[in-house]
Chains A and B, each alone.
Chain A
Amino acid sequence: MDVLPKWAEVVLIPLISLALSFLISAIVIIAIGENPLSALQIMVDGALGSTYGWGYTLYYTTNFIFTGLAVSVAFHAKMFNIGGEGQALLGGLGVAVICLAFEWPHWSLALIAASFGAMIFGAFWALIPAYLQATRGSHIVITTIMFNFIAASVLNYLLVNVLRPEGSMDPATRKFSEAAHLPTLHEMFSIIGIPFSKAAPVNISFLIAIVACILVWLLIWHTRLGYEIRTFGHSEEAAQYAGISTTKIILTSMIISGGLAGLMAINNVMGEAERLVMNAAEGAGFIGIAVALMGRSHPVGVFLAALLFGFLYQGGAELALWTSIPRDLIIVIQALVILFTGALDNLVRIPLEKIFVSFQKKVD
């Protein structure tokens, strides 16, 4: 029997881990010479205190949902996809190609086509390491990390030498046409008369991210493929016994994972920048790992964790603006969250289990 009830497993442990990482962050802030409580105040105000703050928080959240889901799907097949960053960069290339190559009559058509472009490019970038893993046994962690660097170099080359408009000094594509502009939350809300900050980049991709959460949930727990992925992830031997093809699962799970990571580009490239710039993913691929770990690879958890990291990102930017606390502190907090929720899971779990056992004994 499991010692911990399910609610403690999925709610209590992440929350305690989070509290611990915040506590240590507070100590760091004190060491810098600032007041952690007022820092928290600034973060909350900056990230959640206005529709502008919310707009940025949800924009980041959208990125992290996609990359978090990407890592989660691979994780269910016990594939550790560290390559979300590179796949998201390639996804951006897919979006750019689609948006620049055609004159789109309407944004909705552009969005559908760009989504496919993003997913296909992202999936392709995940497929190569997956193929190497399945047929040659090259470890996916190593290859996906390497593919992040390759992706950055490829984009660098393409932006400087191929996609850069004539005469521009900026290594970026030209701006996408007006028809490919995605409705922002401001535009969508103004239809129904709700005021929302015009400057915030959050756009319709946020809704697509929520749909993606639902689809991933259905895929993993309600389809045959999901069943096979989970079986393989829990026990490779049981999967073999059940006649599930190892190669097929490694390839499909990584294709889906890469596709989700690539899909992030409809938010940052198509929705926000409206052109492809260097380093467009801005580390969201790596944060996806933390999001998946903290969200226990479940879409609901991923959504909540992405929201938390969205808050940290936006709040951290505000913090850097108003205090002497550098923006890098957010990376410290993220690192602490990863450390506590991922690596030091037992630090919280074992004492908690002891508490539950002694409590149960009293009940007996």
Chain B
Amino acid sequence: MTQTQPIIELDSIYKSFGSVRANKNISLKINSGTIHGIVGENGAGKSTLMSILYGFYKADKGTIKISDQKVLIADSQSAIAHGIGMVFQHFKLVENFTVLENIVLGAENGNLIAPSLKSARETLKNLATEYELNVDPDSLIENISVGMQQRVEILKALYRKAKILILDEPTGVLTPAEAEHLFRILKNLKNEGKTIILITHKLKEIMSVTDTVSVMRQGEMTATVKTVDTNPEQLAELMVGRKVLLQIEKKAPIIGSSALYCRNLNYTDEKGVHRLKDINFNVSQGEILGIAGVAGNGQSELLEVLAGIKKAEGEITVNSNNISLNSRTSNPLTRRHLGVSHVPEDRQKLGLVMDFYAWENMALGYHYKDQYRSNKFFMDNTQLKLETEQRIKNFDIRPNDGDLAAKSFSGGNQQKIVLAREIEQNPNILIVGQPTRGVDIGAIEFIHRRIIQLRDAGKAVILVSVELDEILSLSDRILVMFDGKIMGEKIAATTDERELGLLMAGIG
């Protein structure tokens, strides 16, 4: 490893959007041939900073130097010309093109495609052997796995002769094994002298692959340290600005009677794809059942079927009430009557009406209840506002103003609004999807504690999450889903990431 001079130098970068200061006085040096991590909560300004580097935004103030040359990056074309490549969280690939066509797209030399494809095929072969980046160049994008697609994105950058590679939350969609493979690739790239910037919120990844790490908080860079000199607790504290508990403590579960029993659940979506295949499980009072799996293996559909939003084949028993899943009575309203609360995966689309005030959102799904009616005709908005005030206190929602629209709250506080609404209805069963997606570390701790409190109060919780750490630390029992099937069941206390990872990949 050669610790040479810095390849990227950012000097006092400022960027504002309206009155929001996304980046304040950011200076950063990244040495060539290293892996540099950037961590920070949502809205800390990581993405803005990288977008400035990649030419999507123009900084209000400040300079960028690449290899000691002051540069002006006006658009992504000039970023590429300066040797910067970016792998976005959401891939930018043409689904019905082959791998090779995608790689050449936008970098063709000349009007004829065939010669470009031919030379690209050669380059690709070399890159593949050099960095363990094996992809079949003639497969269609839509037919290859997400991990493969990510490799295509990396190859695209390398084909354009990138010296600096920026990866934005690269492991969000990968199985643990795929993530490990990715890190091997990154280490190979580093050894070949490439510089890598890794944006992530997973502290474990930072610790295992980076050489140096920068922490951002509220638009400022609060620290840049060598990875060997720090630890996850310290990084978390730097991100949030106070001490946080990364590992949640919980007592042994006191398992009660069956709360929800699901039999022979099958679901086929509008396109005719068989999304859920013969799902059977039971969840009892006083237990958290975790459902693990790589995103897109049927968990979202399972949640919506359980919550009554989607019709399906099969039957569930909720507190000894049998419900046929394709009947008229299988709908969100009757589920709520039976004490089933649902915190949806996508809070901004399903869980909240973004233009409604917080207090209006507090009635969403429960607006039919008599407690929110002042008489036969009218809703009791005063009562609703009072309740909202109480819940804002109980759940520490900030800003503590129920008269703000839901969209004015941060992601974490929006999630707290949804949780407050669902938990304070005192449900028998809580169905919760991705409870901490896009939520900052400080709020994660709080949300986890509330979920465990609910379980300790003898309620049943069904937890779906793509974050394995979350599943492992919260659940009592874990189901792993792959391709719409339940691949296996594990007891949380006696399993580990490796074992679950294999099941998530469909092996086992």
Interface residues of A (CB under 8 A from B): 1-3, 218, 222-224, 226-228, 230-231, 234-235, 237-238, 240-243, 353, 357, 360-361, 364
User: Which residues of the other chain, B, contact A353 by a CB distance below 8 angstroms?
Assistant: 18
Contact pick for A243, options B333, B344, B352, B405, CB 8 Å: B333
B351 at the interface (CB under 8 A from A): yes
B354 at the interface (CB under 8 A from A): yes
Q: B354 contacts A224, CB within 8 Å?
A: no
What CA separation (Å) do A238 and B344 show in the bound complex? 10
Contact pick for B332, options A231, A240, A357, A364, CB 8 Å: A240
B353 at the interface (CB under 8 A from A): yes
User: Which residues of the other chain, A, contact B354 by a CB distance below 8 angstroms?
Assistant: 234-235
Q: A238 contacts B364, CB within 8 Å?
A: yes
Residue of chain A at shortest CB distance from B367: A227
B308 at the interface (CB under 8 A from A): yes
B324 at the interface (CB under 8 A from A): no
What CA separation (Å) do A156 and B381 show in the bound complex? 48
B203 to chain A, nearest CB (A): 30
Residue of chain A at shortest CB distance from B346: A237
B123 to chain A, nearest CB (A): 44
Q: A235 contacts B408, CB within 8 Å?
A: no
A227-B363 contact in complex given A1-B408, A3-B18, A241-B344, C-beta closer than 8 Å: yes
B479 to chain A, nearest CB (A): 23
A243-B356 contact in complex given A218-B378, A237-B349, A357-B19, C-beta closer than 8 Å: no
A224-B379 contact in complex given A242-B365, A243-B331, A361-B19, C-beta closer than 8 Å: yes
User: Which residues of the other chain, B, contact A224 by a CB distance below 8 angstroms?
Assistant: 367-368, 373, 379
B237 to chain A, nearest CB (A): 28
User: Which residues of the other chain, B, contact A228 by a CB distance below 8 angstroms?
Assistant: 367
Classify the interface of chain B: helix, strand, loop or mixed: loop
User: Which residues of the other chain, B, contact A237 by a CB distance below 8 angstroms?
Assistant: 346, 349-350
User: Which residues of the other chain, A, contact B353 by a CB distance below 8 angstroms?
Assistant: 230-231, 234-235, 238
Q: B405 contacts A242, CB within 8 Å?
A: no
User: Which residues of the other chain, B, contact A240 by a CB distance below 8 angstroms?
Assistant: 309, 332, 350
User: Which residues of the other chain, A, contact B352 by a CB distance below 8 angstroms?
Assistant: 238
A-B contact pairs, 17 of them (CB 8 A): A3-B18, A3-B19, A218-B378, A222-B381, A224-B379, A230-B356, A231-B367, A235-B350, A235-B354, A238-B350, A238-B351, A238-B364, A241-B309, A241-B342, A242-B332, A243-B336, A360-B19
Residue of chain A at shortest CB distance from B308: A243
Give the number of residue pairs across the A-B interface with Cβ within 8 Å.
78
Residue of chain B at shortest CB distance from A238: B353
B38 to chain A, nearest CB (A): 26
Q: B405 contacts A2, CB within 8 Å?
A: yes
B301 at the interface (CB under 8 A from A): no
Within 8 A of A (CB), among B358-408: 360, 363-365, 367-368, 373, 377-379, 381, 405, 408
Q: B364 contacts A242, CB within 8 Å?
A: yes
A31 to chain B, nearest CB (A): 40
Q: A234 contacts B355, CB within 8 Å?
A: yes
Residue of chain A at shortest CB distance from B333: A243
What CA separation (Å) do A241 and B335 show in the bound complex? 11
User: Which residues of the other chain, A, contact B360 by a CB distance below 8 angstroms?
Assistant: 227
A242-B342 contact in complex given A222-B378, A361-B19, C-beta closer than 8 Å: no
What CA separation (Å) do A1 and B365 show in the bound complex? 25
What CA separation (Å) do A3 and B20 show in the bound complex? 11
Q: A224-B368, A227-B367 are in contact. List 9 more A-B contacts (CB 8 A).
A: A3-B18, A228-B367, A230-B353, A231-B353, A231-B356, A231-B367, A238-B352, A242-B365, A357-B19
User: Which residues of the other chain, A, contact B309 by a CB distance below 8 angstroms?
Assistant: 240-241
- Which of under 10, 10 to 19, 20 to 34, or 35 or more describes the interface residues of B? 35 or more
Residue of chain A at shortest CB distance from B405: A2
Residue of chain B at shortest CB distance from A222: B378
A241-B367 contact in complex given A2-B405, A357-B19, A360-B19, C-beta closer than 8 Å: no
What CA separation (Å) do A364 and B21 show in the bound complex? 13
B224 to chain A, nearest CB (A): 29
Q: B381 contacts A238, CB within 8 Å?
A: no
User: Which residues of the other chain, B, contact A242 by a CB distance below 8 angstroms?
Assistant: 332, 364-365, 367
B355 to chain A, nearest CB (A): 5
Across the A-B interface, the 3 shortest Cβ-Cβ residue pairs: A243-B332, A243-B333, A242-B365
What CA separation (Å) do A234 and B350 show in the bound complex? 11
User: Which residues of the other chain, B, contact A227 by a CB distance below 8 angstroms?
Assistant: 360, 363, 367, 379
Q: B365 contacts A241, CB within 8 Å?
A: yes
What CA separation (Å) do A235 and B349 show in the bound complex? 7
Residue of chain B at shortest CB distance from A226: B379
What CA separation (Å) do A28 and B113 show in the bound complex? 55
What CA separation (Å) do A224 and B377 show in the bound complex? 8
Q: A2 contacts B408, CB within 8 Å?
A: yes
From A228, A242, A364, residue with most partner B Cβ within 10 Å = A242
B388 to chain A, nearest CB (A): 14
Within 8 A of A (CB), among B430-486: none
Contact pick for B365, options A226, A230, A243, A364, CB 8 Å: A243
Instruction: Write the B47-75 contact mask toward A (1 if CB under 8 angstroms, else 0).
Output: 00000000000000000000000000000
What CA separation (Å) do A238 and B353 show in the bound complex? 6
Residue of chain A at shortest CB distance from B351: A241
User: Which residues of the other chain, A, contact B408 by a CB distance below 8 angstroms?
Assistant: 1-2
Q: A238 contacts B373, CB within 8 Å?
A: no
What CA separation (Å) do A117 and B505 show in the bound complex? 66
A238 to chain B, nearest CB (A): 5
What CA separation (Å) do A219 and B352 show in the bound complex? 21
A218 to chain B, nearest CB (A): 7
A68 to chain B, nearest CB (A): 21
B270 to chain A, nearest CB (A): 13
A107 to chain B, nearest CB (A): 29
From A243, A353, A361, residue with most partner B Cβ within 10 Å = A243
B157 to chain A, nearest CB (A): 35
Q: B350 contacts A241, CB within 8 Å?
A: yes
Within 8 A of A (CB), among B267-295: none
What CA separation (Å) do A222 and B379 show in the bound complex? 5
Residue of chain B at shortest CB distance from A231: B353
User: Which residues of the other chain, B, contact A226 by a CB distance below 8 angstroms?
Assistant: 379
